[in-house]
Structure 1
Amino acid sequence: MNHKQHRFSGFIKPIVFGVDICIIIFSIFLFPLKITNLYIFIAYSFCFWLLIAFRTGFYNIQRSTKMIGVVRLVFSQMSIYALVLYAFIGFFKQPNISRSYLAFYFGVTFALIFVFKLLTYLLLLKYRSVFKGNIRKVVVIGKNSKSNQLIKIFKNRLDFGYELSKQFNTRSETFSLDKCFKYILDNQIDKIYFSVSELSNSQINKLVNFADNNLRELKFIPDNKEVFTKKLKYEYYDYIPILSLREIPLDDPVNKVVKRIFDVVFSSLIIVFVLSWLTPIIAILIKLESKGPVFFKQARSGFSHSEFECFKFRSMAVNESANLQQATKNDMRITKIGKFIRKTSIDELPQFFNVFLGHMSVAGPRPHMISHTTLYSKKVDKFMVRHLVKPGITGLAQVSGFRGEIETDHDIVNRVRFDIFYVENWSLLMDIKIVIQTFMNAVKGEEKAY
């Protein structure tokens, strides 16, 4: 998908979150609260704001969200935050804290966040409707009363930011899904809306597979309530019900922030306390055995199929096939020190720099060489779904027995299966479990670590 047309959209929620945090923290200094330890109060406020936002979905505002929904979110968030503020007094034993100034602090914070939230919401509406920014190109498959009503909403509600590129009539003699797919790819369509009642089960399956393999967002226009399942997300565009097939936990800005904080903290600890002294030792051993650089850099597929340079300690003699041929058992290209660092997974440690820089996560689907991504995207169904999140140094597939060389189709199919499960069911606890299991496997040694 061409993300250049809306490459700044991903910064909107983090910027809003950052401004809210600044309001919460800097408003503290406006009042003589008489807090014993100000830094503990700041950390306490930040952590609980994050937890409350995660619970209320404070930053999970959709294009179709009405203003009353935004107001409700602000009141829900701030009501719980008020309770948390006054709980600080008893929890940290602050008898001297000024209750009245704490109330003033809350009032100012509430007013500033409320105004900023509404202002951001209204500015985004105007930005989409007047300046045609933050636009998503869509197609509608199906022609009936509900699909026509949806198209009418797209045309009338420019503030939603949806640009209808084409409507496909399934009853036309020239209609075919393959033509739809070609149009979607050629015109860089972002979202596909289709009427459930106008496609057969086999056509729906084909459409779902296409959307997964090409990273397109798929939306259902339901014909009746029988299609509802707990796996589908249900939302309204005015009065038209719309269903989404896949919910990605890491699309939620709070989840994204939590994962990023975990990545930065964990990678920083490894860089400072492990790589700072281990890198010179490994560098000397690599240089003593063979000529060439200490680090091996390779282009790999990252988030949304973007490319990045993946760092590793060089474990092979310099060779021309390094970017094309995967390491195999008893590979003659692997050096003696390379065999050791691959067996213990030390060769992967420089990827914590990739994590710190934001190219990767600590846990996630393992990134493949560009040539392998091209091969498997055509060969393995739903392979591209794994690119909906950042790649990881380790992953659920790796700790489940599918690391290393891909010897058969069974290996890659199962790796993709575990990766998709991770994408759809992410949690911070899952990341922590994966990291612990990876460490235990490295200590025990793994059969396919060569």
Structure 2
Amino acid sequence: MVSNVKKIYHIRLLTDSVCIILCFGAAQILSSRSFTNRDFFLLFFLLIGWYFSSRYTELYDEFRTVKYIDEFLVLIPNIIVQGVTLMIYLFLINDRVYARKLVFLDILLVLLLMTLQKYLFKKISLFIYEKGYKIKNILIVGTGESAVSFYKIFSESPQFGYKVAGFIDEHKPEFLNGKYSGNLASLEEILKKKSIHEVIVALPTFNKSYVEKIIHITEKEGVKTRIIPEYSQYGFKQYKLELFGGNPILTLRKNPLEEWHFRLIKRLFDIVFSLVVIIFIFSWLIPVIAILIKLDSKGPIFYLQERWGKNNQKIICFKFRSMYSESSTRKKDGGFWQTEKDDPRITKVGKFLRRTNLDELPQFFNVLLGDMSVVGPRPHAVQHNIESKEQIDNYLLRHWVKPGITGWAQVNGYRGETKDIALMKKRVEFDIWYIEHWDIWLDIKIITVTVYNMIKGEMMAY
């Protein structure tokens, strides 16, 4: 099964690589640009760029083959990477004569040819397997959630070349609709009768003796056996399986930013984005806001607050002061006083700064220093963290990554005062979802929505 999927992956990667080479050659001819020896290096970088961008965007994941539109949408960022790579190369060699025409033609040709190629690839694959060519029969042991989920994948993806011949279990569920083949005692007979190529063990609980009997029978008949552990009982949807000293280790929560290359991409993006903001916006906006704050109330322009960053490390968070300087964050009972609607501590200018998120802008200095990221779970005050981690499950998982100026929870409406435990839990759920599903395109989406919200203003910003 894995070999079939890998074979499909290599075929798709190879055909895409051929498309890149053909499109580049055609773009060269149509733009009247002569091919030189150094263009071999360009082709090499274009292919390497495609390989890494396709891995990053998961272009060749199995689920991409289920619907054509899914694969097409993920194709776009990969083509953008090709265009950017081409532009950088032409800039470095100072080739301005053919640059625009070559880049335009190459991107256009790659888009057209890739779109057509992937459509034809899907149609041809479906035609081959619908005709029964090289179809392999699979027998699934178990009728639990994982077993049924596996069955649905093969039913919806005939291009993989597998067909579920039936299920075996000690009890016959009614929902199998004729797919029940028998129990363990009849396994040997089923393997012979139905010409089974592979057996998938998908039991809800691991029973060593039961699995050993299955393996004994399948190996006697020369049939491959694959075992799918049942992890859904833990309630996790994101997993990461690794080998440590030859031993398999399962991490129950996926965190892409544990990978150094993803951290590097995010860090480079943070540095470039924060520098652009500081140079082109802070240069004129900080003096304006500073004057307004000073005219509105006495006290410093900036407000420095200790908060928790990545791995619960304390950081000093920069903000424009939006409250009266003598204001306290402590209630009379000693608890943390969150900002609330019509909060008497907030100044007139402070209300505007909070509503437009402008009070958070100095945190771009935190980003530049490496304490924060442009996008991530919002950092909370120390006392807020101490109180919240006792009330909300998984609260401190938010601190697996650097805190952000804006975040997935904020753009989904979970910002501002969070006295309601249910809303606080929801915010944490969004933060954890962001950590498990991070990619650079998600960051760009969150930044775009944040800018839009800043322009229109937010009801929960006070």
TM-score w.r.t. the length of structure 2 is 0.51
Q: Distance in 1 between matches of 2:355 and 2:47?
A: 42
- Give the CA deviation at 1:244: 1.9
Greater relative contact order structure (CA < 8 Å, 6+ sep): 1
Query: 1:421 and 2:433 equivalent?
Result: yes
Partner of 1:438: 450
Contact between 2:241 and 2:249, CA under 8 Å: does it hold in 1?
A: yes
Matched residue type, 1:397: A
- Give the CA deviation at 1:410: 1.6
Cα 1:378–1:197 change in 2 (3 A) is farther
Q: 1:296 aligns with which of 290, 303, 324?
A: 303
Q: 1:309 aligns with which of 298, 316, 329?
A: 316
Q: 1:258 aligns with which of 232, 255, 265?
A: 265
SS in 1 for 2:266: helix
Query: 1:342 and 2:354 equivalent?
Result: yes
Partner of 1:6: none
Partner of 2:100: none
- Give the CA deviation at 1:409: 0.7
Matched residue type, 1:294: I
Partner of 1:278: 285
Q: What CA RMSD, in Å, does the superposition of the two structures yield over aligned residues?
A: 3.4
Which deviations, in whole Å up to 9, do the C-alpha atoms of 1:164-195 show, x marking residues without a partner? xxxxxxxxxxxxxxxxxxxxxxxxxxxxxxxx
Q: Which runs of 5+ in 2 are unaligned?
A: 1-35, 57-81, 96-204, 208-226, 331-335
Matched residue type, 1:254: H
Cα 1:288–1:247 change in 2 (3 A) is same
Partner of 1:226: 229
Cα 1:231–1:446 change in 2 (3 A) is closer
Q: Distance in 1 between matches of 2:318 and 2:238?
A: 37
Counterparts of 1:48-87 in structure 2 under 5 Å?
none
Q: Distance in 1 between matches of 2:386 and 2:392?
A: 10
- Give the CA deviation at 1:269: 0.7
Cα 1:383–1:228 change in 2 (3 A) is closer
Q: 2:342 aligns with which of 317, 330, 345?
A: 330
Query: 1:381 and 2:393 equivalent?
Result: yes
Cα 1:352–1:240 change in 2 (3 A) is closer
Counterparts of 1:1-400 in structure 2 under 5 Å?
225-227=228-230, 231-322=238-329, 324-400=336-412
Q: Distance in 2 between matches of 1:350 and 1:287?
A: 16
Matched residue type, 1:251: E
Contact between 1:343 and 1:445, CA under 8 Å: does it hold in 2?
A: yes
Q: Which runs of 5+ in 1 are unaligned?
A: 1-32, 58-83, 97-195, 199-223
Q: Distance in 2 between matches of 1:372 and 1:51?
A: 45
Cα 1:274–1:338 change in 2 (3 A) is same
Which deviations, in whole Å up to 9, do the C-alpha atoms of 1:44-103 show, x marking residues without a partner? 96x98777567679xxxxxxxxxxxxxxxxxxxxxxxxxx9xx979x8598x9xxxxxxx
The structure with the largest alpha-carbon Rg is 2
Q: Distance in 2 between matches of 1:48 and 1:308?
A: 42
Which deviations, in whole Å up to 9, do the C-alpha atoms of 1:268-319 show, x marking residues without a partner? 1110111111111111111122111100000011001111011111011112
Count how many residue pairs are aligned between Structure 1 and Structure 2: 258
SS in 2 for 1:227: coil
Q: Distance in 2 between matches of 1:389 and 1:278?
A: 29
Cα 1:51–1:356 change in 2 (3 A) is farther
Which deviations, in whole Å up to 9, do the C-alpha atoms of 1:179-216 show, x marking residues without a partner? xxxxxxxxxxxxxxxxx979xxxxxxxxxxxxxxxxxx
SS in 2 for 1:236: strand
Which deviations, in whole Å up to 9, do the C-alpha atoms of 1:119-177 show, x marking residues without a partner? xxxxxxxxxxxxxxxxxxxxxxxxxxxxxxxxxxxxxxxxxxxxxxxxxxxxxxxxxxx
Q: Distance in 2 between matches of 1:330 and 1:353?
A: 29
Q: Distance in 1 between matches of 2:337 and 2:263?
A: 34
Q: Distance in 2 between matches of 1:317 and 1:50?
A: 52
Cα 1:314–1:48 change in 2 (3 A) is farther
Single out whichever of 322-331 and 362-371 deviates more from structure 2: 322-331
Which deviations, in whole Å up to 9, do the C-alpha atoms of 1:382-411 show, x marking residues without a partner? 001110011110000001010111131122
Q: Distance in 2 between matches of 1:248 and 1:51?
A: 24
Which deviations, in whole Å up to 9, do the C-alpha atoms of 1:253-274 show, x marking residues without a partner? 1111111111111111110111
- Give the CA deviation at 1:337: 1.1
- Give the CA deviation at 1:242: 2.6
